[in-house]
Amino acid sequence: IPRHATGTLSARIHEDPTYRLAWTLTRHFQTLVIHRCGAAALAAWCRAAEASGVPAFQRFAETLRADWDAVVAGISLPWSQGPVEGLNNRTKTLKRMMYGRARLPLLSARILHR
């Protein structure tokens, strides 16, 4: 965050209680994800978000609860789909770069041989 933005953010947090609550909920959710706190902590965060009175957080908590098992697995398990998504992104980028220039054998060779 740029230095001038930090001052603006601090002033806004001190002036507006709704903004302070939104900032607090955001930071707590970030901590849950970074430290992989698990289902109990996520459930507590969802209850706080639903009780906050901030519509965006209430909708977000409802969305989390709609797919609860997947969300809990996502924030508590050490596995990630990042490498697979990176490979998919690389493949699609190569395909777009080569559109109209070459056929499948050359595309396969570029994908397999980096």
pLDDT computed for residue 104 by the predictor: 85
> What is the structure's pLDDT at 62?
97
pLDDT of res. 1: 59
How would DSSP label each residue in the chain? --HHHHHHHHHHHHH-HHHHHHHHHHHHHHHHHHHT--HHHHHHHHHHHHHS--HHHHHHHHHHHHTHHHHHHHHHSS--SHHHHHHHHHHHHHHHHTTTT--HHHHHHHHH--
Does 110 score more than 70 pLDDT? yes
Mean pLDDT, residues 26-43 = 93
pLDDT tens, position by position, 52-101: 999 999 999 999 999 999 999 988 888 878 888 888 999 899 889 888 88
pLDDT value for 3: 67
Can you tell me the mean pLDDT for 20-25?
94
pLDDT at 102: 79
28 pLDDT band (50/70/90 cuts)?
Answer: very high
The more confident residue out of 58 and 10 is 58
